[in-house]
Structure 1
């Protein structure tokens, strides 16, 4: 049974174990990123006896550690002989604080974040004894010669690298009436025996439990991702996930905007596993390179299919307009299955289309995404191999789709916008195709009946326009009468059709009849959903 231990570690022991390689980092941890003031403020808290938060350790051995390990940043600079010990305490949460303390008390010759030169930290003993903590701790760049000269002239300024030697510290101020020896020793002990709260996980703790514990502790810091843990675990087998991801970003569009964890999820599906965190952390290293590349190719195909505004799924901007970004995982696995098993055919691609649009308009991926992906992928295979359509597709009734949604964040809302993009969304004023490529970042979701006049936000009163179009706040009767005079009624009807507005709705527009317009538009949208789903309905 995994038993979490609560305890504490003294600052002197933290510094010692870091120096000798007993406290180490998993390879997934990011580099030290604190600024000089961050380090100084932490030191103020330690000297003042304030709480600096908890640290999370995993007990293990060098050989049995679930991750590749490395020394704390700066250790090798001050201790070239340092090696990772056999028995280790793997620091999962507390890296920045530990590295900052080690940096301050050992002064490795490395610059802090966004600085050209290293910093050194000092304590003004006189002010520290007066408990003037904010003024007692000073950090200065080694390039600041003037400030360093001032510090050297102040005999009460002690480098923190010297503070750890009690005998030398006492000797330095021996006979000084301003520095009572007993109080100096107490200051030293208070700092070096400062206790930091520690949570320790036993060596048998599962990776899944490690992530969950970390996330519960680290609500405000940088989240520990599944990809981070997988990176560290696979590194032991010579697989560098960060390098693979960087290469993928250079080669594939999807990898530039989507989290790398999705690649692991597709690999899991390809291997017949549910893409939940536990399974991702246990991915076998055998054949990993081949399946990584296979998953990347599949995700790129899925991404292109979803963002194809003519023959795909009409998503103009994946981050902003994808009904469910997570749908790309089962979609990629399905595309890979057809290719790998030589099942590519118009009929089977139509099945993928039916899956996609049904999932969007049933809000299927609002929750339990990983189990949904696994279930849907297996149902798709059964559909391809045995002709048994998934129950959720067979039972899907487009008439029940909620077209009263008004939130642009809704999957149904975004799905309708995608349908409009696929229809063409011609410019109301000119009748020309919209310049989506030129104005992709400036797409507007406009009201057909102006919101300022009708206060109607539901999706049936919305459409896509680009910034070179403007209806201002004219009533539909006025605006579309102008369009008919300029372009002719037939052209206006053709333009409306590309916005999923049926011919009979023109009369409602010219009469400013919002209620009738909404019903006719909903009917047109439902008919388009039926057409897109096709199979199984």
Structure 2
């Protein structure tokens, strides 16, 4: 089947979802093949020439790259030709194709999306010498995706990592294997020969593959079969199905290509760093097109898809402007805790016909601030963008559509949210919880941006420890005069919200591990500027050394609490009045 794939005799229909398997699933599949286990049957569709020209097909991925090449290329079926379309088994076939012929590059944990070395290219290797780690339960063979450098042997050492795809170059399963083992300095290992022989048998010795061939040319019947067979495994999402159906139903545009391109633009163009998915894009499309926002098959009619295609230019522009607004609000992929918040932002911009001028005009600055505060508060409040999302988005859409003013109707929107249990008021317990947020926590940036709204967050701001983190070790604290029995209190407090602020990137770099008083004296030479900075950041009573940190911490905590009560809602004030 892989040979047929490389000859482009087997293709994927547009109703297939994107490749979603990860490295663990691929290695387990190859391990199963090497052990002689069955890997499931395949469902194929014999597409006749007269049918093939009416549908869109895609080739199989060979070199997967999470950022630069995550999607299969569109295939060309020449006029008068048919094809074999894979309805079930695409994930397995793509995985085998990558394992034998290609590579897999996914983002390293904590790396920035646009970093040049964030996506190391790796290929599948078999360890010919060692057994798999005990933690790799269920695996008989040590199979790993490694960079070529990681797999290379030290000079003169055992070359134990064999690239799985290289088995295709072996001329036989006897002398050729022994010659390869000798070259690798592991010819005396019986396990090495057996492992390579098992790989050869799994890949090179043809075994019958179970498949069922669909010959019906009625697309509705084929779609029904497709949905049924994809009800297990990595579940077919309704957004995948919508995107696939839209690809066939749009008359002028290619839905899959349009959505792919827009997702890429949203996440990485114009300095943006986000991780919006096609689900968010499609949810926004349904919202703006005025159709049911739920991902249900019954909503994916030709009439609804026509509405989405007609509105697509407006949807695209609204989303791009909404992403730019979020960037100006200081958000990125690390601190935007709910990507769904972009849906109502884009819808609002669409309804008011906002152009690019809205993003920076003085006339709209007040409205942008209202919108920013609503967005930030919704991200701080737990549970707003979680369960019941479709109901929440529908109620917000109704409030925005009914709005007759020119500005963002924050009161109406919040009333609509409250009606479905998504109110944005905060009680005293919730405010106290926020005071215990830690450095780099999910909601920490949002809370700090609410506390100090005068900052131009479109510029790069960092979360910064007022008293630097590097000063908080037992040795340094005792050396600075802190009583030994108080050291743990200092260590418990320094990483919490009352010791945090937002600081421009350049200033944060310059500050490094300086005590706040020393840095402020150097950064703000005049008394007037120092006083303004201290007032705006609640730094009154700033001690000259770290010994006074706890007193300062408690005082600032009280001031920050007061600010949060005023900024986040009225229920906290009401509770406080009773205390």
TM-score by length of 1: 0.57
**For 2:525 and 2:61, how far apart are their aligned partners in 1?**
69
Q: Counterpart in 1 of 2:280?
A: 262
Relative distance call for 1:325 and 1:61 in structure 2 (3 A) is: same
**For 2:436 and 2:498, how far apart are their aligned partners in 1?**
9
Q: Counterpart in 2 of 1:522?
A: 561
Q: Deviations over 1:143-162 (max 9, x none)?
A: x8xx86xx6997999xxxxx
Equivalent in 200, 215, 223 of residue 234 of structure 2: 215
**For 1:307 and 1:462, how far apart are their aligned partners in 2?**
21
**For 2:531 and 2:568, how far apart are their aligned partners in 1?**
21
Q: What SS class does the counterpart of residue 468 from structure 1 fall into?
A: helix
1:497 aligns to 2:535 (yes or no): yes
How much has 1:250 moved relative to structure 2?
Answer: 5.9
Q: Counterpart in 2 of 1:234?
A: 246
- List alignment gaps of at least 5 residues for structure 1: 1-13, 104-110, 115-133, 158-186, 217-223, 426-433, 532-537
Q: Counterpart in 1 of 2:91?
A: 93
Does the CA contact (< 8 Å) of 2:2 and 2:97 recur in 1?
no
Does the CA contact (< 8 Å) of 1:448 and 1:463 recur in 2?
no
Structure with higher Rg: it is 1
Does the CA contact (< 8 Å) of 1:25 and 1:91 recur in 2?
no
Q: Counterpart in 2 of 1:336?
A: 350
**For 1:380 and 1:138, how far apart are their aligned partners in 2?**
56
Does the CA contact (< 8 Å) of 2:273 and 2:333 recur in 1?
no
Equivalent in 339, 350, 375 of residue 356 of structure 1: 375
Q: What SS class does the counterpart of residue 39 from structure 2 fall into?
A: coil
Relative distance call for 1:496 and 1:371 in structure 2 (3 A) is: farther
**For 1:197 and 1:409, how far apart are their aligned partners in 2?**
51
Relative distance call for 1:195 and 1:419 in structure 2 (3 A) is: same
5 Å-filtered alignment, 1:132-531, equals 194=208, 203=222, 205=224, 213-216=232-235, 228-236=240-248, 237=250, 239-245=253-259, 248=262, 249=264, 253=270, 257-278=275-296, 284-308=304-328, 313=329, 315=330, 317-339=331-353, 352-353=371-372, 355-363=374-382, 364-384=384-404, 388=412, 390-391=414-415, 392=417, 396-398=424-426, 400=428, 401-402=430-431, 403-408=434-439, 410=441, 412-419=443-450, 422-424=453-455, 437=459, 443-448=462-467, 451-452=472-473, 454=490, 455-456=492-493, 457-465=495-503, 466=505, 467-470=508-511, 472=513, 474=515, 479=517, 483=521, 487=525, 490-499=528-537, 501=538, 503=540, 512-529=551-568
How much has 1:396 moved relative to structure 2?
Answer: 4.2
Q: Deviations over 1:407-432 (max 9, x none)?
A: 4565542212323664339xxxxxxx
How much has 1:296 moved relative to structure 2?
Answer: 1.6
Does the CA contact (< 8 Å) of 1:29 and 1:228 recur in 2?
yes
How much has 1:30 moved relative to structure 2?
Answer: 6.3
Q: Which has the higher contact order (CA 8 A, sep 6+)?
A: 1
**For 2:22 and 2:367, how far apart are their aligned partners in 1?**
53
Does the CA contact (< 8 Å) of 2:465 and 2:501 recur in 1?
yes
How much has 1:353 moved relative to structure 2?
Answer: 4.5
Q: What SS class does the counterpart of residue 320 from structure 1 fall into?
A: coil
**For 1:360 and 1:496, how far apart are their aligned partners in 2?**
27
Does the CA contact (< 8 Å) of 1:361 and 1:415 recur in 2?
yes
Relative distance call for 1:358 and 1:349 in structure 2 (3 A) is: same
The alignment's C-alpha RMSD in Å is 5.9
TM-score by length of 2: 0.53
**For 1:73 and 1:16, how far apart are their aligned partners in 2?**
14
**For 2:371 and 2:327, how far apart are their aligned partners in 1?**
15
**For 2:281 and 2:288, how far apart are their aligned partners in 1?**
11
